[in-house]
Every structure is written in C-alpha cells, then in structure tokens.
Amino acid sequence: MFEILKQFESKYGMLKKKGLRIEGLSMIDPKRKKHVILVSKPFMFDNRQLPKTYEGLDIKAKIEGTLPKEFSFNKDAVRKEYVWAPNRFEKFVDRCSDEIKKQFNNPNMSRQDMLDALAFGNFEEHKKKSLQMMKDGKIPPFKMN
C-alpha cells in the first residue's frame, strides 16, 4: 500500500506547487479495512487535476485555509446550511472570475471551466448529486439561485 502512495506522490507531486499537500494513507473504516489517500489543498485549486481514486484507493481531500465569503456559515447553524451548495460556487465564480483566471494562470477560462475546477472536478455532477442529497434529506435545503 505504501508503494501505491509513493507512485501517487511521484505522479501528482508537481501539484504541490499549486498548494496540494499529500498527507499520507488513512484508514477510514477499520471494519472493512478501507484506506484512502489523504490530501489537503487550498480552496482555489483546480480539482480536475486530481483523480477521485488512485490504484483502488479513494482520494480524500480536505480544504485548508480560509473560504471565500460565499462559503461562510454560522458554526452554530452547520446542520442548517449546506456549505457546498451549487449556488455558492456560481456566486463566487461570478464575483471573482478575474482572480480565478489569474490563480489558474488561464485567462481564457470559461465560466463552466471555473465552476468545474472549483466544484470538485465537475460542476453539473456536483449540482445533480447535491439536489439528490437534498431530496433524500441528507443535507439541508438550499436555493438554486
């Protein structure tokens, strides 16, 4: 398993320049002996460059640092607000598109590219999954606009 981690580090280590930190292996389910590769990254990170899984291990990413104002929430109301609601990504991209293009060193990024980069790699998939989780009662209701 450590060999897989070494391979992951050699393949994706260049993303460290963009803020990725590879923290190592972590066991998330002792009963099933399920391991993940744990990484941390800044909010402004192009998630399309990072796979969801690698050699059978899920990639578990956490965001380090501060979040933009669109993602701020009352800590007492965590269960009442869905931090990653799709409309929050849209508001942030609409407000900060120039800053995002500069951060990703891509002046020709489209709005959809920016949404995909920030919303875990695929904005439409995130939106669809979020709506389903809301319908299933797994996350608090959120507005779409």
Is residue 126 a part of any domain in this protein? yes
* Residues linked to residue 123 through DSSP beta bridges, in sequence order: none
Q: What are phi and psi of 43, to 5 degrees?
A: -60, -45
Is residue 93 a part of any domain in this protein? yes
Q: For residue 131, what are the domain limits? A: 69-135
**Does pLDDT of 97 surpass 80?**
yes
Q: How many helices (H) and strands (E) does the chain have?
A: 4, 4
pTM for the structure as a whole = 0.87
Q: How far is CA 7 from CA 38, 47, 59, 135, in A?
A: 14, 19, 14, 39
Residue 145's pLDDT is 66
Q: Are residues 57 and 82 in the same domain?
A: no
pLDDT tens digits, one per residue of 103-140: 999 999 999 999 999 999 999 999 999 999 999 999 98
pLDDT tens digits, one per residue of 19-29: 999 999 998 88
